[in-house]
Chains A and B, each alone.
Chain A
Amino acid sequence: MGKYTLIITEKPDAASRIASALDAEGKAEKKVKNGVPYYVAKRNEDIVVVPALGHLYTVASKKRGIRGYPVFDFQWVPRYLAKRGAARIRTWLKVISKLAENADKFIDACDYDVEGSIIGYSILKYACGNKETAAQRMKYSTLTKEELEKSYTEPLSNLDFALIEAGLTRHEVDWLYGINLSRALTAAAKNYSGRYVTLSTGRVQGPTLKFLETRERRIKCFVPTPYWSIKAKVNISGAVLEAEYEKKVIETKAEAEAVIDSCNDQDGETKKVALKDFQQMPPLPFDLGSLQSEAYRLFRYTPMRTSSIAQRLYLDALISYPRTSSQKLPPAIGYQATLKKLGKNREYAKLTAELLAKPALTPTEGKKKDPAHPAIYPTGNLPSKILNRAEKNIWELVVRRFMAVFGEPAVLQSIKVAISINGNRFQLNGRQTLAEGWLRFYKPYVKSEDAVLPPMREGQTVSVKRVVLEDKFTQPSSRYNPSSLLRRMEKEEIGTKATRAGIIQTLNNRQYTREERIVVTDLGFEVVDVLKKYCPAVVSLELTRKLEERMNDIQQGKETREKVLQDTIEILKPVTEQLKEKERIIGARLSQALMKARLEERVIGACPVCKSGKLVILRSRKTGKRFIGCTNYFEGTCKTSFPLPQKGLAKPSGNVCKSCGWHTVRIWMKGKRPWNLCFNPKCPLKEERKEKH
């Protein structure tokens, strides 16, 4: 093969799709060199498409092998020099460099966003020998043949260097904060306890943990207060309905009891029947955040999981690029063509036909824009292979949301009936759907809240069956879950759409948080306390806000990368000095919290025998075997123990056995589905099973 055009993509799947789309016969040839795949496509010219594996270059300290802090000298290096387990990047880069030698034209076809731009730029600069200024840029939002061909034949003449400059700065600033503060925390804990544990923090991790910590403090200090509410069960035309007393919160028991006494043995009378029609507008198109929230609400998928499923669907050309913050669907995506293609699926045929029959297709759109990509939409392609359940769920959700945004508003009617029982005002609420509109398209995902009331008129006598007093307490703030935390991060504009889900996962991996309804551990509290005391900037939103402003200024040429980095170093210098000075105190606090976090992770629940101890997963020093034992064993007061399977991973499940009420242990074994194990030898369920067999 003579000279050719070298196209660089972000991932191998994208390389395969692009090569096939550009090949005149649609069959690009796959080649593999030292384990690195690349594709050769033929049309009026030869094209070689080679993928990256995400970021192949990263920021690292200039002094290799030294793990101390502070570190302010850095450089961009191949990832295998900075990260463990990235050895194959060396071969990967060698293959790209070799392929670049015979190329006479370079095109960056990485994802069209900041990260994609940095990936393409660094490969062109370092692996291809300073080809970044000569390279062209392919811009596309779906991996469909039509769009890829168009973006290849009409590429942008050069890379977006202003965007790249801002992106590089962000990476470097984040590295400076992350490496210095994480090393300070890790070194403090290690020098005190002698045990190495990675403790990390950073510009995004810090404020995110702070949100959680603030909420957790409020929950832990919460004192509920009592209040009462009253409901009347009334019989109207044979139907028993529940009417609410006009005052939803009654603050004293005496007042509540007086109302009950006054209602006893009395009939009611309808005083007013008010009907009101209102519209419910169609939902907005999905951006990544709203897709992640909706997938969590419907399927309980974590934002991280939704993001990776959406990425797979994008690489299969089933949906558009998911890492977008846009809520806009421009006509250029081809509403009609997409709906026609979706209509080939029997399940959507009727619904798409209904939309296509409309005189005009106008989507409901939100305010958020993304200069690089539209909102997430289905490409219209139907799955060519069988999707797994999670992929199918997300794809169908994207398809149905796409159809719903073109639907008409739903028309609903609310009915409010005021009932007087001996002068006490109660209210009966009803609701019914008059016209389904967009709800038809989104039906599996919206619950009908209809509560149809029988026909009623003013002055009608109502028989009161019972008036009930309900004792209630004020509730503490609800805990964040991965979805609500992600929304908060979006609202505060910290992190990027690509990194937020990963940050939430990191907080969990570092044992700063646990459980799905996120609980902050003692270690999480200690980390926030240390940062608040010695580096308040890193847990404040102000730092991120200012940085975002300066990133924009860099893009517009009003600010320089050097100045931003210099300012960051000026902030960090005194902070690291102080952290070093107080290392022993910080180390002691973190080590104690770490020990507690480790124990917490193994605690199953209260000991059912002695009641005062806790059951913990332990390992015998003598035999090395894993078992469950009571913490009171060490006091010599309880010898309760239970065996555990020796293979696989065992962790407290947080649930109790439905049959005997004992806490259970979750077991993960290779090749098997995880299950909850009830270790109660006398569990009735076990007895039942024995009898069956």
Chain B
Amino acid sequence: MPIKRGAEGKTLKCKACDREAAEKDFCLVHLKAYENILEKYDVWTKALQISWREYLSQIEQNPLTGEWAIEVASYLINSEETRNVKES
């Protein structure tokens, strides 16, 4: 998978850690966690009718959530941009 580079050719950092970003501005480690979070949101909304923000906060606090998924959820909670994308 290609490593993302900025305008000056520098490698971009992952939004959730210090590793190099690969796709969607996440490193390979956090990318999979991000994809899981997106995928499971549909199950949560069907089950509980909750908003994206409530969902993120629920999984962030759930002891069963994996460490990397928690890191991505924490980032997403504070990310206005991602929140808007999902809600729209």
Closest Cβ of chain B to A21, distance in Å, is 58
* CA of A226 to CA of B49, assembled, Å: 12
7 closest A-B pairs by beta carbon, nearest first, are A222-B66, A220-B66, A224-B64, A221-B33, A223-B40, A220-B68, A225-B43
* CA of A222 to CA of B35, assembled, Å: 10
Q: Is A221 within 8 A of B66, CB to CB?
A: yes
Could you say which interface size class chain B belongs to? 20 to 34
B25-64 vs A, CB cutoff 8 Å, 1 = contact: the mask equals 0000100110011011001101110000000000100101
* CA of A252 to CA of B50, assembled, Å: 12
Decide if B82 is an interface residue (CB 8 Å cutoff): no
Decide if B69 is an interface residue (CB 8 Å cutoff): yes
Q: Chain B residues near A474 (CB, 8 Å)?
A: 64
Decide if B11 is an interface residue (CB 8 Å cutoff): no
Closest Cβ of chain B to A221, distance in Å, is 4
Q: Is A222 within 8 A of B65, CB to CB?
A: yes
* CA of A490 to CA of B39, assembled, Å: 35
A220-B67, A220-B68, A224-B65 known; A252+B46 contact, CB < 8 A: yes
Q: Which one, B29, B47, B48, B66, contacts A223 given CB within 8 A? A: B66
* CA of A473 to CA of B67, assembled, Å: 17
Q: Is B59 within 8 A of A224, CB to CB?
A: yes
Q: Chain B residues near A218 (CB, 8 Å)?
A: 66
Q: Which one, B33, B47, B64, contacts A252 given CB within 8 A? A: B47
Closest Cβ of chain B to A603, distance in Å, is 14
Decide if A476 is an interface residue (CB 8 Å cutoff): yes
A223-251 vs B, CB cutoff 8 Å, 1 = contact: the mask equals 11111000000000000000000000001
Closest Cβ of chain A to B6, distance in Å, is 20
Q: Chain A residues near B32 (CB, 8 Å)?
A: 217, 221
Closest Cβ of chain A to B18, distance in Å, is 9
Decide if A598 is an interface residue (CB 8 Å cutoff): no
Q: Is A223 within 8 A of B69, CB to CB?
A: yes
A599-613 vs B, CB cutoff 8 Å, 1 = contact: the mask equals 000000000000000
Closest Cβ of chain A to B22, distance in Å, is 13
Q: Which one, A221, A225, A252, contacts B68 given CB within 8 A? A: A221
A474-504 vs B, CB cutoff 8 Å, 1 = contact: the mask equals 1110000000000000000000000000000
Q: Chain A residues near B59 (CB, 8 Å)?
A: 223-224
Closest Cβ of chain A to B50, distance in Å, is 10
Decide if A469 is an interface residue (CB 8 Å cutoff): no
A221-B36, A223-B37, A225-B40 known; A253+B47 contact, CB < 8 A: yes
Interface class of chain A by DSSP: loop
Q: Chain A residues near B43 (CB, 8 Å)?
A: 225, 251
* CA of A269 to CA of B27, assembled, Å: 57
Closest Cβ of chain A to B61, distance in Å, is 11
A190-224 vs B, CB cutoff 8 Å, 1 = contact: the mask equals 00000000000000000000000000011111111
Q: Is A476 within 8 A of B47, CB to CB?
A: no
Q: Is A220 within 8 A of B69, CB to CB?
A: yes
Q: Is B62 within 8 A of A473, CB to CB?
A: yes
Number of A-B contacts (CB under 8 A): 56
A249-278 vs B, CB cutoff 8 Å, 1 = contact: the mask equals 001110000000000000000000000000
Q: From A250, which residue of chain B is reached at the shortest CB distance?
A: B47
Q: Is B47 within 8 A of A475, CB to CB?
A: no
Q: Chain A residues near B62 (CB, 8 Å)?
A: 224, 473
Q: Is B48 within 8 A of A253, CB to CB?
A: yes
Closest Cβ of chain B to A411, distance in Å, is 40
Q: Chain B residues near A473 (CB, 8 Å)?
A: 62, 64
* CA of A225 to CA of B39, assembled, Å: 11
26 A-B residue pairs with Cβ-Cβ distance under 8 Å, sorted by A, are A217-B29, A217-B32, A218-B66, A219-B66, A220-B67, A220-B68, A220-B69, A221-B33, A221-B36, A221-B69, A222-B66, A222-B69, A223-B36, A223-B37, A223-B65, A223-B69, A224-B64, A225-B47, A227-B47, A251-B43, A251-B46, A252-B46, A252-B48, A253-B48, A474-B64, A476-B66
Q: Chain A residues near B47 (CB, 8 Å)?
A: 225-227, 251-253
Q: Is A222 within 8 A of B64, CB to CB?
A: yes
Q: Chain B residues near A224 (CB, 8 Å)?
A: 59, 62, 64-65
* CA of A225 to CA of B40, assembled, Å: 7
* CA of A475 to CA of B63, assembled, Å: 10
Q: Add 18 more A-B contacts to A218-B66, A251-B46 (CB < 8 A).
A: A217-B32, A219-B66, A220-B29, A220-B33, A220-B67, A220-B68, A220-B69, A221-B33, A221-B66, A221-B68, A222-B64, A223-B33, A223-B37, A223-B59, A223-B65, A224-B65, A225-B43, A253-B48
Q: Is B48 within 8 A of A222, CB to CB?
A: no
Q: Which residue, of B29, B47, B48, has the highest number of chain A Cβ atoms within 10 A? A: B47
Q: Is A476 within 8 A of B67, CB to CB?
A: no
Closest Cβ of chain B to A479, distance in Å, is 12
B60-87 vs A, CB cutoff 8 Å, 1 = contact: the mask equals 0010111111000000000000000000
Q: Chain B residues near A219 (CB, 8 Å)?
A: 66
Q: Chain A residues near B33 (CB, 8 Å)?
A: 220-221, 223
* CA of A476 to CA of B36, assembled, Å: 13
Q: From A226, which residue of chain B is reached at the shortest CB distance?
A: B47
* CA of A251 to CA of B33, assembled, Å: 22
Q: Chain A residues near B67 (CB, 8 Å)?
A: 220
Closest Cβ of chain A to B34, distance in Å, is 9
Q: Chain A residues near B64 (CB, 8 Å)?
A: 222, 224, 473-476
* CA of A309 to CA of B33, assembled, Å: 43
Closest Cβ of chain B to A49, distance in Å, is 57
* CA of A95 to CA of B44, assembled, Å: 74
Q: From B58, which residue of chain A is reached at the shortest CB distance?
A: A226
Q: From A225, which residue of chain B is reached at the shortest CB distance?
A: B43
Closest Cβ of chain B to A678, distance in Å, is 24
Closest Cβ of chain B to A187, distance in Å, is 24
Q: Chain B residues near A476 (CB, 8 Å)?
A: 64, 66
